[in-house]
A = this chain, B = another copy of it.
Amino acid sequence: MATSSLLLLLLLISSCIISALLPAASASKTRHFKWEVGYIYASPDCNEKILMGINGQFPGPTIRAKAGDTIHVELKNTLHTEGVVIHWHGIRQFGTPWADGTASISQCAIDPEETFVYRFRVEKAGTYFYHGHYGMQRAAGLYGSLIVDAADGEEEPFRYDGEFNLLLSDWYHQSIYDQMVGLSSNPLRWIGEPQTLLINGRGQYNCSLAAHPVEGSNACRPTSKDCAPVVLRVLPNKTYRLRIASTTSLSSLNLAIGNHKMVVVEADGNHVEPFTVGDIDIYSGESYSVLVTTDQNPSSNYWLSVGVRGRKPKTSPALAIVNYRPNSPSKLPESGPPMAPEWNDYNHSKSFSYRILARRGAPKPPQSADRRIVLLNTQNKIDGYTKWSINNVSLALPPTPYLGSMRYRLKNAFDAGMPPENFPPSYDVMRPPPNPNSTQSSNAYVIGLNSTVDVILQNANALAVNVSEIHPWHLHGHEFWVVGYGDGRFGEKEVARFNLKNPPLRNTVVIFPYGWTAIRFVADNPGVWAFHCHIEPHLHMGMGVIFAEGVEHVGKIPREALACGMTAKMLMDKHRP
């Protein structure tokens, strides 16, 4: 009896062990990458310049993984005098806040010739990307795609016969050093519109492929494979998934394919209720999947066109060719590239954004929030320097990353005190700031762990009269539900109208000119997280805030993430012989 009980117990224990081990071993794996970030020569738009590549490639290598996998990137910095970090955009970093890749926030920048290991889990299938998050290094070309497929045995709720990945960006001929100095100068030297739009790192400067096609004038014949147009080789009557992500520095984009409709099925790694459109808007920091059925005249090829939205375009659209096999890829499409909507047709943009709703069965938001933070977006002046401010505070990142300084409760590592939760009721969002003077600070919003937070992003008039810009806001460490949009100033009565039934989950959302956007999220990820405008020059000019939650629950931060500033000093001092 005692023996059989023991045997039973042993069997029970071993079956527990087996059941605990088996699923992990069979379903998910660790994917190893060894990368070197360094400057390379490249001609993304037929004009050679130096840019930041990874392992000699631009854009960086595509990471492809399955949901549940662990990504392990040994990142070596081979820049000569600059630090570097890489942010994994859209990856939650649950339990690994030090791997979020944000300089001054989650880790110390990696010194030249040093290596940092990014190790994190990708939880959810979807279309993601990665990019530099130090100074304006993203705009120097430091980016690439991160595609997560459904875990083995799981399925996406839509079918397709093939897929293409399109990573969109904009391109400047001026170096990022020149750009950063100009943006930090008094008077401001604005970076202007990009020279070129790129699809998968390729574009054509000052030349429309449609007017002067590939086989046409020399002026637009790509002089190297770097800048040859992307070709999407398709078969007739099939359905293709286009994964589209935007890592632009400045531009908001619109994408369309001649004659073809698109069915939107994914936004920022979340399934959305499918809807059909002729074109999609995509803002910096966003990603979408659309399904395209090749149901048009198969004897023709078609243009895929990417143009600028929200700012008066001075940049030619980027073009790719949808090549119906067996046509030659160099066969000119019979009709011109699709025209983008007027750059300032915001109703068109809004109607697209408003149609993005969660697919049935998606997780619903909590029905109420514990806290509401209202963030007024204004353009300001500080000692004559042009800045962007949130509730009149322009973000100045501290030299010691918050994650370490908060974890070790260091004094004076960043500005004390909580930033404002709201802005004065008298503030008129339709007019330039009556007093444009603002302040710089590194202070942070401390949020109760597991609390539900509403953030109202309130747009306003910039410094000039009748100017209000689009700002795509990106949240690190979380996804949020987009529970409402509106024009003008947000009012208390809007809360009752929040969409709590099927709001989409996202990591990036836009505020339209003079409008507001309401999001809700659960602060369930111990760490310190940036929430900021994804327009690179705007962030450089202070357009962001810091959220900290449950930092006392953060696990052991890798030494390398702490090896700078006050955390390094504290840890070194104690030991110093």
Contacts and interface: CB of A to CB of B under 8 A. Distances in A.
B114 A50 contact: no
A517 to B, nearest CB: 30
Given A135-B80, A175-B177, A571-B572, A564 B111 contact: yes
Contact of A572 (B135, B137, B568): B568
Interface stretch (A178-186, A267-275, A320-328): A178-186
A535 interface: no
Contacts of A41: 181, 185
B576 A559 contact: yes
Interface string A26-51: 00000000000001110000000010
Interface in A532-577: 559-560, 562-565, 568-569, 571-576
Nearest to A77: B399
A82 interface: yes
Given A112-B399, A399-B111, A568-B568, A81 B563 contact: no
A193 interface: no
A101 B39 CA distance: 25
Interface string A160-188: 00000000000000010110110011000
A559 B575 contact: no
A486 interface: no
A565 B114 CA distance: 7
A281 to B, nearest CB: 31
Contacts of A572: 559, 562-563, 568, 571-572, 575
Nearest to A399: B113
Nearest to A136: B80
A398 interface: yes
A562 B573 CA distance: 11
Contacts of A562: 572
A80 B109 CA distance: 12
Interface of A: 39-41, 50, 80-84, 103, 108-109, 111-114, 134-137, 175, 177-178, 180-181, 184-185, 398-399, 559-560, 562-565, 568-569, 571-576
9 contacts: A50-B178, A80-B177, A81-B135, A81-B137, A108-B111, A175-B177, A563-B572, A571-B571, A571-B576
- Complex A-B, nearest 3 residue pairs according to Cβ-Cβ distance, in ascending order: A113-B399, A81-B135, A571-B572
